[in-house]
Structure 1
Amino acid sequence: MNKFLEALHDAVLDAGAKNMARNAGFNSHMTLLQRANPNNDDHQLSLPQFLRIVVHLPEQDRRRVLLALSEEFGYGLVAKAVQPAESPMQALLELVTESADVTRAVHDAIADGRINSQEKFTIRREISEVRHSLDVLEESVKVA
């Protein structure tokens, strides 16, 4: 966990502890620095505190911290590549359409009282498309 804690500490320093502390709701920048310091066993960082920090990090630093955390457990990190729609309204309409497709797939599948493997595949695919539509809507709202 040391690489992860060091990456978090470095990211807090790079982002500016005073502004970060204010934005993340810490009492002072010293409290934030103590919590993020990998060499300070007296002040352990809680999960809610970690999340408050990560949310306020610049994207590059957030990626560095999350990558270090995932590598501690033998995993990698892949960012989602989501293109926003032309407008949030367009993204919302697409989401509603995809949600209706899920409803239709489930309705058709349960018509005979059971769901076979092909129907399960179709339902899962439709659910995946709804998740993607939610990501597009979220990205569209961010850039609006």
Structure 2
Amino acid sequence: MEDFLRACQSAVLDNEAKPLAAKMGVSHVSLLQRANPDNDAHHLTVEHLFGILLHTGDMRPLIALADEFGFDLMQKIPPQAQGLTASLASVGKEVAELTIAIHTALEDNHVNSGEKSRIRQEISHVRQSLDVMDASVKAA
């Protein structure tokens, strides 16, 4: 918890607290007091944390929070849209490769760890191609 609270304070102090406070609709002094983990009288709310993340783009508090619970935070890179025909062909290709990987694995009625890995890799490819199709539909 200490790392998370210090990360919140650092995000406020390192990102010009006065303009940040104005964007968040709170006073500069109030924001500094709330972000100070050594001040027992004031605490950041979820809305304050959201405002800090939104207006600074500083993800250190979110990274520290994820780390506290054993997670790694990675930025999601949105897929590039394609033409609908191209994205449909890509989805069809990936589903076909997944189908082949499953049929190959089932030929001996036993799926070994290498085959499981290959199937999971193909599932990941299908998901990625579906994300591209979704972006393509949104862009159309």
Normalised by the size of structure 1, how large is the TM-score?
A: 0.56
Q: In 1, are the aligned partners of 2:33 and 2:42 still within 8 Å (CA)?
A: yes
> Unpaired runs of 5+ in structure 2?
89-125
Q: How many residues matched?
A: 100
Q: In 1, are the aligned partners of 2:8 and 2:35 still within 8 Å (CA)?
A: yes
Is 1:67 aligned to residue 100 of structure 2? no
Q: CA deviation at 1:130?
A: 6.1
Q: In 1, are the aligned partners of 2:23 and 2:55 still within 8 Å (CA)?
A: yes
Match of 2:31 in 1: 32
- Correspondence list, 1:1-144, <5 A: 1-26=1-26, 28-58=27-57, 61-62=58-59, 64-83=60-79, 85=81, 129=130, 133=134
- Aligned counterparts of 2:33 and 2:133: Cα–Cα separation in 1: 39
- Aligned counterparts of 2:42 and 2:8: Cα–Cα separation in 1: 14
- Aligned counterparts of 1:56 and 1:70: Cα–Cα separation in 2: 20
Three-state SS of the structure 1 residue aligned to 2:14 is: helix
Q: In 1, are the aligned partners of 2:80 and 2:132 still within 8 Å (CA)?
A: no
> Unpaired runs of 5+ in structure 1?
99-124
- Paired AA for residue 54 in structure 2: V
Larger radius of gyration: 2
Three-state SS of the structure 2 residue aligned to 1:56 is: helix
Which structure 1 residue ranges, 4+ long, deviate > 4 Å from structure 2?
none
Q: CA deviation at 1:129?
A: 3.4
Normalised by the size of structure 2, how large is the TM-score?
A: 0.58
Cα–Cα, structure 1 residues 130 and 54, in superposed 2: closer, same or farther, change >3 Å? same
User: Quick one: percent identity of the two aligned structures?
Assistant: 42
- Aligned counterparts of 2:10 and 2:40: Cα–Cα separation in 1: 17
